[in-house]
Amino acid sequence: MGVKRTDFLKTALGASAGLSVAATATPWSSAAADEAIGNYPAGTSGPEVFVGLLCPTTGSYSADGEDERKGYILAMEDLNAGTGVMGKIPSLAGKKGLLGKKVTYKIADTETKPDTAVQRATEFITQNKAIMIQGGVSSAEDIAMQKLAQQQKVLYMVGASGSNDTTGKDCQRYGFRSQLDAYMVAKALDPYLVKAYGPKKKMIFLTPDYSYGHSLTNSMRADLEKLGWTTVADVVAPFPTSDYSSYLTNIANSDADVFINIEFGNDGISSTKQAVQFGITKKMKLVIPNISTFLPDGLGPDIMQGVYGTQDWYYTFADRYPLSKLFLESFQKRFPGVIPRWTAHIAYAQTAIWADAVTRAKTFNPPVVIKTLEEGKPIELMLGKVYYRAGDHQQVRPCPVVRGKPGSAMKNKDDFFDVVALVPGEQCMQPLEETNCHLGSYT
């Protein structure tokens, strides 16, 4: 399948592919501002511009995708009305739409599958002349869409993606990722694990068999081994899996002290639930390094209490950051009774960052917008000041470490976590030379 798709794209993009090879050596120049590239200027000639949104509203990560979808809807409505957090961004304040144009959008279901994601994204780019695409929840679909974006020269603001590869070996000039990568998760979380559970522990991993899983397991493993822990085994399960009993039998029969569950989404819920039934959480400490948005709801506080992990964003940040408070309020006004989770945060923040860059660049021209983002000027958003690192397009942003609350301490049905720490982004970032990232060409 993958080969076929690549072939198709190569054929479809024969001309531009040739161009990009020729232009690799030439960095962006001022002359490029006027050149046609991707859907520019074709997609921006009318009174509206189109943005393609891709959310997995079915499949293993559907709950996360639904939250992400709501985040995009609020972001688009705020952008066009000049309200909410969008209205507080200096470059956008007092304006409606973007560079005087209304931003229209469509939302497609990626089914948590890379093939479907690329197909839908291609439709947005070719049929709707999308000037930007964004979304995705699994790193597999995000990396696939990011490659497409690079080939088509259409900007892609990455949705939820935790693999190092997204801004590492699979990084692209046309993609920007805001979520913590696996390295940042490990760097932020691990000192707290050692503090809580002691310096010489034996750990065992349950890993979903794709980019994100291996990336997070390897990062956690390398970092914790440096801190003195040892690895008993890395139990790899296919993605997705529904019955984990055979994998958990291996884990239950090991002599590990700490069970580090890398599974995410519905797979994270069923694997953890089954691990509890196997008595694993009685024998071992449970750690879920990357806690998916609705995992605590699916497991309940009895299982989640005391569990350490990280989350991209949590709604109680409203107490720390004024724009988190505003985001929480406007989200609840738009979707009564629903508290946004971190995938909605990514959706909104990524839209805002792009809108700010377009406004400051005064053009939709992708290379110019990319260059503007690469300048690394911090923007004040729901996590305080954040910016993109030019070398790999990873966002430098606070890394939140959380711990599950006991049910008795929950103030409402969404109040699952204590925020243990917000580690400054600069302390978590992987050194650029270790990322193995080679951003492609601008043109």
Our finding on whether 407 is near other proteins (CB under 8 A) is no
Angle CA 323–324–327, to nearest 5? 85
Q: Is 216 left (phi over 0), alpha (psi -120 to 50) or beta?
A: alpha
Nearer to other proteins, 6 or 277 (CB): 277
> Which is closer to other proteins, CB of 77 or CB of 297?
297
Q: What is the DSSP string of 97-146?
A: SBTTBEEEEEEEE-TT-HHHHHHHHHHHHHTS--SEEEE-SSHHHHHHHH
Q: Is 428 in the site for other proteins (CB under 8 A)?
A: no
Of residues 42, 249, 377, 427, which one binds other proteins by CB under 8 A?
A: 249
Q: Which is nearer to other proteins, 29 or 277 (CB)?
A: 277
User: Would you count residue 311 as binding other proteins (CB under 8 A)?
Assistant: no
Structural element, H or E, at residue 381:
strand 379-381
CB-neighbour burial class of residue 103 (10 A; exposed 0-12, middle 13-18, buried 19+): buried
Tokens of 271: 């694997």
Q: How far apart are CA 242 and CA 245, in angstroms?
A: 9
Buried b (16+ CB within 10 A) or exposed e, 230-244: ebbebbbbebbbeeb
Residue 299 in contact with other proteins, rule: CB under 8 A: yes
Residue 248 CB partners (closer than 8 Å, separation 6+): 206, 271, 274, 275, 278, 280
The answer to whether 295 and 273 are in contact (CB under 8 A) is: no
Verify binding: residue 412, other proteins, rule CB under 8 A. no
Q: Nearest approach, Cβ of 221 to other proteins (angstroms)?
A: 16
| Residue from 145, 203, 224, 269 in contact with other proteins (CB under 8 A) | 269
Name the one range near other proteins by CB under 8 A: 293-301, 311-319, 321-329, 393-401.
293-301
**Is 247 an interacting residue with respect to other proteins (CB under 8 A)?**
yes
- The span from the CA of 70 to the CA of 47, in Å, is 25
Considering the complex, state which of residue 179 and residue 292 has its C-beta at the smaller distance from other proteins.
292
Unique residue bearing structure tokens 């580690």: 423
CA distance 268 to 266: 5
- Scanning 35-43, 89-97, 250-258, 423-431 for contacts with other proteins by CB under 8 A, the matching segment is 250-258
Are 44 and 131 spatial neighbours (Cβ–Cβ below 8 Å)? yes
Q: Which residues ranging from 330 to 369 are in contact with other proteins (CB under 8 A)?
A: none
For other proteins, the closer of residues 59 and 309 by Cβ is 59
How many residues in the shown chain lie near other proteins by CB under 8 A? 38
d(Cα 281, Cα 204) in Å, to the nearest integer? Answer: 12
Q: How far is CA 268 from CA 60, 129, 281, in A?
A: 10, 37, 14
**Using the rule CB under 8 A, is 53 a contact of other proteins?**
no
d(CA 44, CA 62) in angstroms, rounded, equals 32
Q: Does 320 bind other proteins (CB under 8 A)?
A: no
Stretch of 129-137, 148-156, 193-201, 249-257 contacting other proteins, by CB under 8 A: 249-257
- Considering only 253, 337, 413, 431, the residue that binds other proteins (CB under 8 A) is 253
Is residue 14 at the binding interface for other proteins, with CB under 8 A as the rule?
A: no
Give residues 92-121 in contact with other proteins (rule: CB under 8 A). Answer: none
- CB-wise, 168 or 240, nearer to other proteins? 240
Q: Which is nearer to other proteins, 293 or 443 (CB)?
A: 293
Phi, psi values for residue 425, rounded to 5°: -55, -40
Task: Pick the binder of other proteins from 213, 240, 366, 404 (CB under 8 A).
Answer: 240
In the chain, the amino acid numbered 311 is Q
| Interaction between residue 245 and other proteins (CB under 8 A) | yes
Which of 44, 60, 146, 163 touches other proteins by CB under 8 A? 60
Answer yes or no whether residue 55 interacts with other proteins by CB under 8 A: no
Segment 189 to 218, residues that bind other proteins, using CB under 8 A = 209
Verify binding: residue 304, other proteins, rule CB under 8 A: no
363-392: contacts with other proteins (CB under 8 A): none
Interface with other proteins includes 418 (CB under 8 A)?
A: no
The radius of gyration of the chain's CA atoms, rounded to the nearest angstrom, is 21
Out of 39, 44, 62, 110, the only residue in the binding site for other proteins (CB under 8 A) is 62
CA distance 69 to 81: 18
- Contact residues: other proteins, CB under 8 A: 57-60, 62-63, 65-66, 209, 235-238, 240-243, 245-247, 249-250, 252-253, 266-267, 269-270, 273-274, 277-279, 294, 297-300
